[in-house]
Structure 1
Amino acid sequence: MRSGTSGREKGGQGGERLKKRLNAGLLTGLACLVLVVLLAACEEKEEAQGASPSGEAVAGVPDGAAAAQPLPVTVGFYPAMPLTDADFDKIIVQPVLRKYPHITVKRMGGNLTNIFAAGDIPDLIQTHNGLLQELYDKAIVGDINALVRKHGIDLNRFDRAILDSLRTDRGELLGLPYAVNFTALYYNKGLFDKFGVPYPLDGMTWYDAIEIAKKLSRREGGVAYRGLDPEGMSRIARQAALDYADRTTMRSNMMNPGWRTVFEIAKTIYTIPGNEVKDVNASNGIADFLQGAVAMMATVNLFDQLGDATAQGLDWDVAEYPGIPGAPHVNTDVDAHILVIPPTARNKDAAMLVAEAVTSDETQLIMTKETARLSPLRDPALQKAFASDMDFVKDKRIGSIFKSNRIPSPIRTNYYSDTKAFGLNNFKDYASGAKDLNTALRDADEQIDSYLGTQLGKK
């Protein structure tokens, strides 16, 4: 009996011990589970903190180490258009350094075609929309839509017409605009005062400006003064959104009535007595204006050069760009200065971050105020801030620049540069009197068709 009683007592004590062990195991398991969850959460947090904002790979991080920092990356930047070292630093280098200190922007030089042939591909190219089709067909530029989405670029901030000028028929976005050009009529107040001619008004046509130029084209004191320079026939053609060939048909566009009007206006300007130039396709008009020898200069943004000219004594002002009769208040087609990323670039993500920094509100305000570039962003405050930090611009008729509108830009053919040469050469013959208007246009038309036929036959 004792032994049986002892057995029950031992069994009861053993059951209690087993229950305690089970409870302890359960608590331990729960603790482990909580620890695993906490560790997983910590790892996720560390990964999020250590992710590179450039989208480039980062070095591995040992267990327990601090979050990884983005690896340094150098973005090769090729300026295909004039860009001073000072402006490159102000609107490219410094904004990137402030926002993405791990990114270094290195300026590249040389011939772009040769650079690509050598395999030293830029990550970012600065160019303008007029060359996009040509660069696209050479695979120098490509679609950046995926990069725009990846890095959260808000395209709604940009002027819709400007963005549209950078898209292909398939909706591919080929670049991001950082500035947009404009045209204006700059005039030398000193020459107007000297010859007693009233200053030009806003809203004039080209023929109104021509009548004024006739009064200012003269020789005085052994110095020849020219009344008006339009910076070439092709600048006026931009106002009519003309290309030398039709991209859809790949045929000449020189029989478009718009070309007849442009040829006539440009010849009338260059044949004003005393307003002639040696070569209508190689006019030195801008330099002559800045040096005081041209009374009116109809051209693009000159504000990057007017500071020095003002210091040298040029007393200037600005009026609205003259209009083609029947198309008032049009200054040019969309002439966007853009940043493009080659499809073969090595650092596409970092290149997009450079473009994002350059087009940020902060950088755009600095650019507009301090370098007198127009912003492609829709914010009206940026237009009001134009050149506001440039002392030599004070009291000028800046509002005249904004009285004209841009028109949509045609997507030019990939043979734009070559077909343009045929148009210019035949205009030169027309301006000199070697050909009449009909012959000049017909010859340009036939030459372009022949050239395009040869080029397309090679494909």
Structure 2
Amino acid sequence: MKKQTISALLVSFALALTGCNAATQTPVESTASEGLPQLGNDPVTVKIFASTGMFSDEEFARYLAEPVKKKYPQISVERINSGGQKIQDLITAGEIPDIYASYPGPMGNALAEYKMLYNIEPLIKKYRFDTGRFSDEALQTLKIAGGQDFLPGLPAYTNTFALFYNKDIFDKFGVPYPKDGMFWDEVAELAKKFNRMENGVMYRGVFPDGIGRIQQQLSIPFADFTANKSLVNTEQWREAFQIWGSLFKMPGLTEGDFKVPNAGKNQTAFAGGTLAMIASHSNLLNTLKKTEGVNWDMVTYPQHRKAPGIGQRMDSPILSITEQSKVKDAAFLVLDTLLSTEVQTEMMRGGRMTVLKDEKLKSEFAKGLKEFEGKNLSVMTKLKFAVMTPFRYLPDGDVDKILAKAFNAYIVDEKDLNTALREADEEMNKLIQDKLSQKK
């Protein structure tokens, strides 16, 4: 890739974060043999804020602390929110992390709110980190996700998606198993064969997750940021509600505890043997690892006929170096180590999907999970990422609430489709105006 192209990518490649400040660099000394700067030998501790959902204690040690210590004996990596503290608690206590891990969206706003934003592009150049190693879809997604002219962090990995199914339920009702390459309308037809009471047990066909999933898969815009106007009451959204609604508006599917989409309750139902299929992400593997007696497998995440070959958008923890860090060089070397081929290979073998485009890496997915031998895990690597829709100045949590409220009212017949979309459009326009007024 030419220098000009790399520079252009780095300028536009950003996350949903704001602000820019100067940084204090850790002293370095050159190494003629490698041609790269190198830290001195003085001990240094890099403190990281990252939830246990992003990295379990075992993963934190395996993918961060231990490989960094092996490569840089002078660097120690420490998680500082192991007790479940919130970032606000640590800031109040004067313990701002050197690296803050967040998903693009509301969590990332803390970087701007607490003036922790830092531009890592000089460190990328200094240590010759090759952003061209990221997949094209990941780069495109991350560029669109932000609104800044610099890069404050790097993605660690991404959750990846599949359609999980319970073989025993399919066998019980004599229904053929799902196949790779299915489309959502085919999944809906398959799900209709379930949703029945049997010996006092209510069986259900499918849980595809909330309306946001089809929005993400098709990259449906919810706002025109040039005109600052909602786009929810459009034909694209009408079709999305109808397609997704077909997966919910079946007798017996949305009743009782399952009246509206709830991922946690449906994961429990799948593990408990009453839900035939669930479209979910790689974190479900952790639940299934701890659950005995579930005879399951998976096929590729269902596709939309207008976007064949496309799965879900990138769902990655982003590790950002903070402005307040006094050990920025060491912190960047932690990121560099995490994104090395060696560590990414270990993560892939452990079921964490890489954001790098190395096809050899993808072939290693979940090979280290011996308890899942024989499962069709490779399907999680088959589809391309969808491209993220820009949120710009709108918090995605607020956007999700508006869309979920409208969709949930539609699937339980509290509101017809026209009313649900019209009211959601009005709420989105109000949110847009509220956020614009706050920026003045």
* TM-score, normalisation: structure 1: 0.80
Query: Aligned letter for 1:287?
Result: T
Structure 1 counterpart of 2:90: 115
Q: What are the superposed Cα offsets for residues 320-364 of structure 1, whole Å, 9 maximum, x if unpaired?
A: 111223222221123233211223333221111111111111111
Select which of 380, 383, 387 maps to 1:408.
387
C-alpha deviation, 1:249, in angstroms: 4.0
Structure 2 counterpart of 1:267: 245
SS at match of 1:417: helix
Q: 2: distance between equivalents of 1:116 and 1:426?
A: 37
Query: Aligned letter for 2:129?
Result: I
Matched, 1:154 2:130: yes
| Preserved CA contact (<8 Å) 1:219 1:225 | yes
C-alpha deviation, 1:248, in angstroms: 4.3
Q: What are the superposed Cα offsets for residues 108-160 of structure 1, whole Å, 9 maximum, x if unpaired?
A: 22222443455432111222335587456544444311111112212222213
Matched, 1:450 2:421: no
Q: 2: distance between equivalents of 1:89 and 1:125?
A: 17
Name which of structure 1's ranges 262-271 and 84-93 shifts more when overlaid on structure 2: 262-271
Structure 1 counterpart of 2:364: 385
Which structure's CA Rg is the greater one? 1
Distance 1:80 1:166, change over 3 A: farther
Query: Aligned letter for 2:212?
Result: S
C-alpha deviation, 1:452, in angstroms: 2.1
Query: Aligned letter for 2:102?
Result: T
Equivalent residue pairs, number: 398
Give matches, 1:206-217, under 5 Å: 206-217=184-195
Structure 1 counterpart of 2:289: 307
Q: What are the superposed Cα offsets for residues 11-68 of structure 1, whole Å, 9 maximum, x if unpaired?
A: xxxxxxxxxxxxxxxxxxxxxxxxxxxxxxxxxxx97579xx9866xxxxxxxxxxxx
Name which of structure 1's ranges 444-453 and 75-84 shifts more when overlaid on structure 2: 75-84
SS at match of 1:162: helix
Distance 1:251 1:344, change over 3 A: farther
Task: Answer 1 or 2: which has greater helix percent.
Answer: 1
| Preserved CA contact (<8 Å) 2:157 2:316 | yes
Structure 2 counterpart of 1:287: 268
Q: 1: distance between equivalents of 2:29 and 2:309?
A: 56
Q: 1: distance between equivalents of 2:187 and 2:229?
A: 34
Q: 1: distance between equivalents of 2:152 and 2:421?
A: 33
| Preserved CA contact (<8 Å) 1:166 1:175 | no
C-alpha deviation, 1:410, in angstroms: 2.4
Q: 1: distance between equivalents of 2:337 and 2:42?
A: 18
Identify the structure with bigger relative contact order (alpha carbons < 8 Å, sequence gap 6+). Answer: 2
Query: Aligned letter for 1:298?
Result: A
SS at match of 1:331: strand
C-alpha deviation, 1:438, in angstroms: 1.3
| Preserved CA contact (<8 Å) 2:211 2:244 | yes
Q: What are the superposed Cα offsets for residues 420-440 of structure 1, whole Å, 9 maximum, x if unpaired?
A: 211111212112211111111
Q: What are the superposed Cα offsets for residues 56-110 of structure 1, whole Å, 9 maximum, x if unpaired?
A: 6xxxxxxxxxxxx522222121115713111111111111111112222221222
Structure 2 counterpart of 1:431: 411
Query: Aligned letter for 1:443?
Result: E
SS at match of 2:356: coil
Give matches, 1:270-419, under 5 Å: 270-277=248-255, 278=257, 279-283=259-263, 284-301=265-282, 302-309=284-291, 312-369=292-349, 371-414=350-393, 415-419=395-399
Matched, 1:254 2:237: no
Select which of 396, 399, 402 maps to 1:422.
402
Name which of structure 1's ranges 335-344 and 424-433 shifts more when overlaid on structure 2: 335-344
Query: Aligned letter for 2:287?
Result: Q
| Preserved CA contact (<8 Å) 1:186 1:298 | yes
Name which of structure 1's ranges 414-423 and 82-91 shifts more when overlaid on structure 2: 414-423
Q: 1: distance between equivalents of 2:211 and 2:45?
A: 41
Q: 1: distance between equivalents of 2:227 and 2:96?
A: 33
* TM-score, normalisation: structure 2: 0.83
Give matches, 1:218-237, under 5 Å: 218-237=196-215
Q: 2: distance between equivalents of 1:54 and 1:70?
A: 13
Query: Aligned letter for 1:404?
Result: L
Q: 2: distance between equivalents of 1:316 and 1:225?
A: 16
Q: Which runs of 5+ in 2 are unaligned?
A: 1-27
Q: What are the superposed Cα offsets for residues 258-309 of structure 1, whole Å, 9 maximum, x if unpaired?
A: 3222222332222212221444243411122122221100111122332222
Name which of structure 1's ranges 269-278 and 225-234 shifts more when overlaid on structure 2: 269-278
C-alpha deviation, 1:455, in angstroms: 2.6
Matched, 1:441 2:421: yes
Distance 1:448 1:106, change over 3 A: same
Select which of 80, 84, 90 maps to 2:56.
84
Identity among equivalent positions (%) equals 33
Matched, 1:72 2:43: yes
Q: 1: distance between equivalents of 2:101 and 2:138?
A: 16
Matched, 1:205 2:188: no
| Preserved CA contact (<8 Å) 1:245 1:252 | yes
| Preserved CA contact (<8 Å) 1:134 1:416 | no
SS at match of 1:147: helix
CA RMSD of aligned residues (A): 2.6
Distance 1:268 1:145, change over 3 A: same
Distance 1:55 1:402, change over 3 A: closer
Q: Which runs of 5+ in 1 are unaligned?
A: 1-45, 57-68
Q: What are the superposed Cα offsets for residues 362-416 of structure 1, whole Å, 9 maximum, x if unpaired?
A: 11111111x2111112221111111112122222223433332212222323422
